[in-house]
Structure 1
Amino acid sequence: MVSKRRLLREAVVKALFQLDFRPDDFENILSDTLNSLKLDDIKGTVEKYLRSIYEHKEEIDKAISEHLLNWTFDRVSYIDRSVLRLGAYELLYELDIPIEVTLDEMIEIAKRYGTEESGKFINGVLDKIAKLHAPKEKFNL
């Protein structure tokens, strides 16, 4: 059985993916995402994540861009970009989630929705973000 956390993360990734195509339609995408969830108890967290990622998008994208070796942000596939945004958000702003949990979850989601290489790519970028940008308290979880 898939955990509630995984369902939450996958819902967020799917919404972020849609936002790349419809960046001015945040409220409708949020509403559609929340309405599609079968578990009511994760809706509040999904909304919190999406609103926070949307609010901190520039900082999140900057952190990702800084760690793309020989790659530009625009060349990253939409699904990998969505997974990276969620992973970077969790690493930078969710202080109660251990770094290893975020990395493992993002790799699994990337493998499921991305390409054969997505897992390694996501791991490499997020690992650098974690080491250089994650708040100090996350290293003690």
Structure 2
Amino acid sequence: MGVRRRGREYALQMLYAMDLTEYLPDEVFAGFNAIQDLNRDAFYYARRLVDGVHGHLDEIDAVLTRFAEHWKIHRMAVVDRNLLRLGVYELMFLKEIPFPIVINEALEIVKEFSDQEGTQFVNGILDAASKEFRPDETGLKGRARKAAVASDAPEEPPTPA
């Protein structure tokens, strides 16, 4: 398993702990570091992710609320909610990571920690978020431009009957 994958799994576990307690990131980092036989590089990547999610939590949750129609954040499964937070954070702020990798990694992790419904839920929301936050990568920017040009084309005058 790669360093980033392991780091994402560590980050998910840390966010899960923070979600169920009132611990701040530094408290979770210290506790996690004390009980785990950690891959150091993965741990540092996890810290970067957790700090990022924590620092942008309101913004990330607003995105989740927008894309998770008919779902309130607090009603989502804890694993799914926190994995979505990680994925949305990466899509929004870690542009150096291609969006297919963000989605694929999230799906591999959700398969391990959640269920089939969670997999579909996470996939749908991250796919929608990728289209908004990575339009150049998803090809939507080009399609949106073509649609705009087509809609700006002059209408042909009606033919006389």
Q: TM-score, normalised by structure 1?
A: 0.89
For 2:78, the equivalent position in structure 1 comes to 78
The answer to whether the 8 Å contact 2:4/2:45 transfers is no
For 1:27, the equivalent position in structure 2 comes to 26
For 1:60, the equivalent position in structure 2 comes to 60
Hey, what's the Cα distance between the residues in 1 that align with 2:62 and 2:37? 30
Hey, what's the Cα distance between the residues in 2 that align with 1:66 and 1:37? 38
Hey, what's the Cα distance between the residues in 1 that align with 2:8 and 2:18? 15
For 2:50, the equivalent position in structure 1 comes to 50
The answer to whether the 8 Å contact 1:98/1:139 transfers is no
For 1:67, the aligned partner's letter is F
Q: How far did residue 112 of structure 1 move?
A: 0.8
For 2:64, the aligned partner's letter is I
Hey, what's the Cα distance between the residues in 2 that align with 1:21 and 1:6? 23
The answer to whether 1:131 aligns with 2:153 is no
Worse overlay, 109-118 or 38-47 = 38-47
Moved over 4 A (4+): none
Cα distance change, pair 133–84 in 1 and its aligned pair in 2 (3 A): same
Q: How far did residue 37 of structure 1 move?
A: 4.8
In structure 2, the gaps of 5 or more residues are 140-161
For residues 97-139 of structure 1, give each alpha carbon's deviation from its aligned partner in whole angstroms, at most 9, with x where no partner exists: 0000000110111111012211111010011111113375x55
For residues 11-48 of structure 1, give each alpha carbon's deviation from its aligned partner in whole angstroms, at most 9, with x where no partner exists: 00010111111134332112223442521222322211
Determine what percentage of the aligned residue pairs are the same residue: 26
Secondary structure in 2 matching 1:13? helix
Q: How far did residue 8 of structure 1 move?
A: 0.5
For residues 32-89 of structure 1, give each alpha carbon's deviation from its aligned partner in whole angstroms, at most 9, with x where no partner exists: 2344252122232221111111101111111111001222212101010010000001
Hey, what's the Cα distance between the residues in 1 that align with 2:38 and 2:68? 36
Hey, what's the Cα distance between the residues in 1 that align with 2:33 and 2:124? 31
Q: TM-score, normalised by structure 2?
A: 0.78
For 1:26, the aligned partner's letter is P
The answer to whether the 8 Å contact 1:103/1:123 transfers is yes
Hey, what's the Cα distance between the residues in 2 that align with 1:67 and 1:124? 9
